[in-house]
Amino acid sequence: MSLHALETVGVGDDGHEEHAHQTVSIQYENIEQQNESYIVGMWSFLVTEVMFFGALFLLYSLYRVLYFNAYLEAHQFLDVKWGTLNTMVLLVSSWSMVMAVYSGQKGRRKAVLVFLGITQICAAAFMGVKSIEYSKKFGEGLFPDARFNYAKALTMHHEESKASGNVHEPPSPRHVMAFKALEEAEKAPEVTLAAPTAMATLAGAPDKNQIKEAVPSAAWGTFEHEQNKARIFFSIYFTMTGLHGVHVLIGMLLMGALMYFYGSKHHCVEDYIPLELIGLYWHFVDIVWIFLFPLMYLIS
Amino acid sequence: MSVSTVDRAISQKEKVRENYLNVAHTVESWLLTTDHKRIAMMYLISISFFFVLGGIFAGLVRLELTSPNGKLLSSETYNKVFSAHGIIMVFLFLVPVIPASIGNFMLPIMIGARDLAFPRLNLLSWYLYMIGGGMILASILFGGVDTGWTFYTPYSSIYANGNVALCLVGVFIAGFSSITTGLNFIVTVHKMRAPGMTWFRMPLFIWALYATSVIIMLGTPVVAITLLLVVIERTLGFGIFSPELGGDPVLFQHMFWFYSHPAVYIMMLPALGVINEIIAANCKKRIFGYEFVAFSSIAIAVFGFIVWGHHMFATSQSMYASMVFSVISFLVAVPSAIKVFNWITTMYKGSVELTSHMLFALGFIGLFTIGGLTGLYLSSIATDLHLTATYFVVAHFHYVMVGGALLGFMSGLHFWWPKMTGKMYNEFWGQLTAILMFVGFNMTFFPQFIAGWLGMPRRYHFYAQEYQVWHVASSLGASVLGIAFILPAIYLTHSLIAGKQASANPWNAVGLEWTIPSPPTTFNFPENDLPVVTWEAYEYYKEQHGHGHSDELEVGAFEWRESEEASV
Amino acid sequence: MDNELRLTIPAASEFAEQHDKLFHTINLLAIFFTVIVFAGLAFMIIVYRKGSKVNRLRAPSHNSWLEAAWTIPPLVLGLAVFFWSANLFASAYNPPRNAKEIFVIGKQWMWHMQHSNGIRENNELHLPLGEPIKLTMISQDVIHAFYVPEFRMQRMVEPGNYSVMWVTPSKPGKYHLFCNMYCGTQHSEMGGWVYVLPKEEYNRWVASAARPVAAGGIGSKMGGLSLAQQGRALYEKRDCASCHEGSGPSQGRGPSLAKLYGQRRQLQSGQSVVADDAYLRNVLYYPNEYALAGWQQSMPSYKGTLSESDVLAINAYVKTIGVSPVGEVGAPSSDAPAADTTNQQWRYMYGGESYK
């Protein structure tokens, strides 16, 4: 192979030549070295990703210890049904990814396409479920920005469980407090929206002290702290699942590109290495969820 | 056989041969290049640009501080200026400087590879650096950032005005540029070494780059996510670190220093690696205790990860946690001492030549020694309670990071400049610069130790009059230092235009990089013709025995596998 | 202030005197090693410069004994310094029981001090000589740090969390007080003076400050009531007694607060906590989290109604309930005016006269 040819293949993705063999970029001695480099690179990248999510898991655990009760209460808002469904979906996608890589190694192009397709569908389903969950949270006022409204969420949650006949005992003092705060807040609607955050204060929104006076301070003061702890939980929940969601989206893009290349018999997918790399990445994304799911939805 | 290799290298030099610089001249050929050498040069230029910017901000700070109630800047502007100095210098200069420029250029050549494992990723890393740098620059120019480079919460997340979020996103992206570089280095060192280049035959610079890359891969993502959380808290109002939203502000400090203390070693280790190469080449001797020096790099990398709490002795951190962090901090002194003593011993029975890069290296050892020893005051908890966050700390980390990383960089730049550009610079000016820089540096920062011991707090715009004498002394030194930085800009640029052609091995050094022509060809080594390494690193023995003449220099038992092959 | 070259600052606390011994020992070590390194380098450069006629045969390339020789002594010396330092730190960490307590509130950009005898100062702190002082500190906004170089001591002042620092002033004088954690635009003007006064002078100062006077710099000292008395006024204004002392209609709804301070309390969550300053503050702000075992939790939160300095006053009073009587009180005192932070502040902080 001439140096020139190697260079074209190594650099460009638009190779129009038909190659009988797997292509080796110029910097590599042989295909084994190239493949091993890619695998080592991917594993190193995943180590970085582990540290990336690891920091967040650490944060989650620290606040869990600090705000144990608030965590317990807030995590009821996560719907275990949807979470379980998403876990199943991702497990299926993991399996189909394994099958896709296996088919790639055996050189079965069509099978690769089918299995990647299944993985894509699962990923899309996952994002769909996630968006349902997210929009529900938004509707309940559980998105932890300045409009975070835990009182509303607690009320709705309580009404719901009452309607479904789950709760017969009287509401807890915390619920009472929440109702009271909500009622008071409704008397002064602008106050509800501009829930007191330092951000709002900075932005010239109503002064924090004014808000305090509008809402009788004793009930609000207690509730604000309750709300802040729940807010931390939801901040971490949205950050972690959001970042995970971004990873899923990136995975879908990568798989889409891969399917396109397999579909068009592009030379860059003549060996299974790209497929294997994306497979590794996808398993990592799954594993993050496997940790997220019990930590967020299950343990109490 | 090895002699014929060198002959061939020299004969290649005679005619104007194709090299990585003249292979193409278009702008695209630079902006879309995947050649690690071209990317390294682009890094060199952009890093120098940011260094000049950071230097201007430093000059402003020093100028303002000549008066105890300086009127040149308002307090708000002063705070933005010192923050800009810190942010630019740490994230855009010190962290990438040696790995991304010299390391990027030399790593593949020194281990006998044609390029890094992932050339396109390497280019991406440069673009990420430029995007991150551009965002940081934009945030500083439009609105400014006044949080200091440490971005402590809740000040940064709630109280500070200015473009903190944009700046943090810039730092986040620049962090990914280091991650991609680190990943590339790790894979390259693991998988791309030339035949026969075993781990313990690698030059110590490569060991240092490898250790650095490991720290980058493990530490950077943590700070990246931490800063991202501050951005989210600031823009969306999520509660994480702000006590008003139920968060714990000291948690930010833990997460920040978990990266930012190792980051000091990201800056130092490559410099320490460079110094090994220079000492060996200028003493014509193998580095004394090669294995000890190599493992001391790894030890520093490991210890570096478990000392972050020594930045928080004055917080409400528990007493026992402080003690553990303190004792480990003392342990870091040991591998550092090992390095310094091994370098000194390397000179024993060597043939010490005081070239400009050797002078820079000696200056480095001096400053690193002072910087390291003053670290003892700060790892000792009782004295840290007095000195932390005073000018003592400012002086200490400038000695370590600037005196260390910057002089290491200057040393390496002067050492490899002929290889990188193919031109020789003026040796006299190089030596003068090295001396000026060492003197100017000490004049600038030694007074700050005294001011700190007298209780001068850092980040102060106004200060008590009794500290003025030390501030004036420091500013005087800074002007000497400023001249020392202007000089290389002149004579190195001059060398590009009018410098002598460099031979393949102007310093009579050993190492794979000196066996190929200066500047190297695009793929470093002839096609299908990677070197086979059969010798240990730093084999200078023949020169030592006294009959060394530059052309007869034994560069090691060197073999080309198919030496008949024509070069590119 | 004079511009003469100074290389030392007074050591004005017992810790500072111990600190200086350690500091100068590390100085000696550092100088010793610096000299070794520089002398070694100079020797090698001169003797083995290129072209010098010296024996270069059989140059060693490694020697494990030599490596041990420069590994073990620094390690041992380092550990020795560590033990010394850690020991000193441990002695400076927990305040003695008899320490005189002063409360410090940091905010952008001033220091506010509350003495237990009711004197409040802004940016100034008067301390008696030779008496252990415990500073209990909290921030209202960002992180600050309370730093007095002559005490060789600083401590970060965090929002939402009391931090404690203690000193025994050992030398009379007027010393700088700095904020040493960057806290925003006027960070360098957040400070003032610490006065260490001999016993009699201190007593005279207390007597003069007992009336509201504006003296010294720009601080104004609110006087007339002790901190506990101010706390009692607030306590009565908020009707705390109606639940906690059983005199009102809600009699018996809350536990008695007599001799509460320092007791161990059993919470509903099963935890048991010591009723220290942080506990007293948190109960006022977040009562739900500290529901006592055996009590129906119905106390409202006072976050937003009581400022950090009000909380300090109330706590000072609560500590006295059932322990020592507090005199009758009148109206609660208002907050001290905010600090002037224009150039006047600079002159006050840095242009003042040094203590003679």
User: pLDDT tens digits, chain A, 300 residues: what are they?
Assistant: 333 333 333 333 443 333 445 678 888 888 888 889 999 999 999 999 999 999 999 999 988 888 888 888 888 888 888 999 999 999 999 999 999 999 998 888 899 999 999 999 999 999 999 999 999 888 888 888 877 877 777 777 777 777 776 654 555 666 666 666 666 655 654 443 333 443 333 333 344 444 444 444 455 556 677 778 888 899 999 999 999 999 999 999 999 999 999 988 888 777 888 899 999 999 999 999 999 999 888 877
Option in B179, B191, B244 nearest A40 (CB): B191
**A219 contacts C269? CB cut-off 8 A:** no
Residue of C nearest to B251 (CA): C158
Residue of C nearest to A211 (CA): C304
Contact (Cβ atoms closer than 8 angstroms) between residue B352 and residue B283: yes
**C304 contacts A212? CB cut-off 8 A:** yes
DSSP state of C324: S
Q: Return d(Cα A102, Cα C130) in angstroms, integer.
A: 79
Chains in touch with C (≥3 Cβ pairs < 8 A): A, B
Q: Return d(Cα B127, Cα B258) in angstroms, integer.
A: 26
Alpha helical stretches, state H, B65-163: 75-87, 104-110, 119-141
What is the average pLDDT score of chain B?
88
Positive or negative, the CA dihedral B320, B324, B326, B327 is: positive
**A224 contacts C288? CB cut-off 8 A:** no
**A225 contacts C286? CB cut-off 8 A:** yes
SS3 C110: strand
Q: Return d(Cα C133, Cα C150) in angstroms, integer.
A: 15
Q: For residues C240 and B234, which has the higher predicted lDDT (pLDDT)?
A: B234
Q: What mean pLDDT is predicted for residues B462-467?
A: 89
- Give residue A37's Cα distance to chain centre: 29
Per-residue confidence (pLDDT) for residue C194, from 0 to 100: 92
Per-residue confidence (pLDDT) for residue C250, from 0 to 100: 55
Alpha carbons within 13 A on the beta-carbon side of B300: 32
- C19 touches B at CB < 8 Å: yes
Max distance between CA atoms of chain C, in angstroms, equals 103
pLDDT in tens, B526-555: 877 788 888 888 887 654 444 433 333 333
Which tokens hold the place of A32?
Answer: 């084994």
Per-residue confidence (pLDDT) for residue C290, from 0 to 100: 77
Which tokens hold the place of A203?
Answer: 């932005």
Which residues does chain C have with pLDDT short of 50? 1-2, 211-223, 328-342, 353-356
Q: Return d(Cα B344, Cα C45) in angstroms, integer.
A: 9
**B326 contacts C86? CB cut-off 8 A:** yes
pLDDT in tens, B23-47: 888 889 999 999 999 999 999 999 9
Max distance between CA atoms of chain A, in angstroms, equals 82
Indicate the length of chain C as a whole number: 356
Strand C191-197 with B423-424, pairing: unpaired
DSSP state of B364: H
Q: Return d(Cα C13, Cα C19) in angstroms, integer.
A: 10
pLDDT in tens, A4-62: 333 333 333 443 333 445 678 888 888 888 889 999 999 999 999 999 999 999 999 98
Show Cβ contacts of residue C127 under 8 Å, excluding neighbours closer than 6 positions.
C102, C133, C169, C194, C195, C196, C197, C202
Q: For residues B403 and B559, which has the higher predicted lDDT (pLDDT)?
A: B403
With beta carbons under 8 A apart, name residues in chain A contacting B234.
199
Measured CA to CA in angstroms, residue B144 lies from B79, B163, C46, C234 at distances of 9, 6, 51, 44
Q: Return d(Cα B381, Cα C139) in angstroms, integer.
A: 24
Per-residue confidence (pLDDT) for residue B304, from 0 to 100: 87
Option in C269, C288, C298 nearest A226 (CB): C288
**CB contacts < 8 A (B, C):** 283
Q: Return d(Cα A26, Cα B54) in angstroms, integer.
A: 38
Contact (Cβ atoms closer than 8 angstroms) between residue A89 and residue A122: yes
Q: Return d(Cα B488, Cα C224) in angstroms, integer.
A: 69
With beta carbons under 8 A apart, name residues in chain B contacting C40.
344
SS3 A34: helix
In angstroms, what separates the C-alpha of B419 from chain A's closest C-alpha? 20
- Give percent of chain B with pLDDT exceeding 70: 92
**A219 contacts C300? CB cut-off 8 A:** yes
Strand B500-501 with C220-221, pairing: unpaired
Percent of chain C as helix, strand, coil, to the nearest 5 = 35, 20, 40
Q: Return d(Cα C67, Cα B342) in angstroms, integer.
A: 8
Residue A144 one-letter amino acid: P
In angstroms, what separates the C-alpha of B452 from chain C's closest C-alpha? 9
- Give percent of chain A with pLDDT exceeding 70: 72
- B32 touches A at CB < 8 Å: no
**A55 contacts B221? CB cut-off 8 A:** yes
Max distance between CA atoms of chain B, in angstroms, equals 75
Lowest mean pLDDT among A125-129, B241-245, B446-450: B241-245
| Residue B174: pLDDT band with limits 50, 70, 90 | very high
Residue B460 one-letter amino acid: Y
- C343 touches B at CB < 8 Å: yes
Option in C23, C30, C143 nearest B249 (CB): C143
- Chosen for mutation from B78, B381, B469 (greatest number of chain C CBs closer than 10 Å) is B381
Per-residue confidence (pLDDT) for residue B561, from 0 to 100: 33
Residue A199 one-letter amino acid: M
Residue C254 one-letter amino acid: G
Alpha carbons within 13 A on the beta-carbon side of A267: 17
With beta carbons under 8 A apart, name residues in chain A contacting B240.
59, 232, 235-236, 239
Quickly count: other Cβ atoms within 10 Å of residue C20's Cβ. Answer: 17
φ and ψ at residue A221, rounded to 5 degrees: -55, -45
Q: Return d(Cα B193, Cα B197) in angstroms, integer.
A: 6
| Residue B129: pLDDT band with limits 50, 70, 90 | very high
Per-residue confidence (pLDDT) for residue A159, from 0 to 100: 75
Measured CA to CA in angstroms, residue C234 lies from C207, C229, C317 at distances of 24, 9, 9
In angstroms, what separates the C-alpha of B170 from chain A's closest C-alpha? 17
pTM for this predicted structure: 0.84
pLDDT in tens, C121-135: 888 899 999 999 999
Per-residue confidence (pLDDT) for residue C78, from 0 to 100: 92
Alpha helical stretches, state H, chain A: 3-11, 31-66, 68-75, 80-106, 109-140, 150-163, 173-187, 189-193, 198-202, 208-214, 217-263, 273-293
With beta carbons under 8 A apart, name residues in chain C contacting A221.
285, 300-305
pLDDT in tens, B319-373: 999 999 999 999 988 998 999 999 999 998 888 999 999 999 999 999 999 999 9
SS3 C278: helix
SS in 3 state form for A156-175?
HHHHHHHHCCCCCCCCCHHH
With beta carbons under 8 A apart, name residues in chain B contacting A28.
117, 192
- Give residue A95's Cα distance to chain centre: 20
Per-residue confidence (pLDDT) for residue B477, from 0 to 100: 95
Per-residue confidence (pLDDT) for residue C335, from 0 to 100: 41
Contact (Cβ atoms closer than 8 angstroms) between residue B519 and residue B510: no
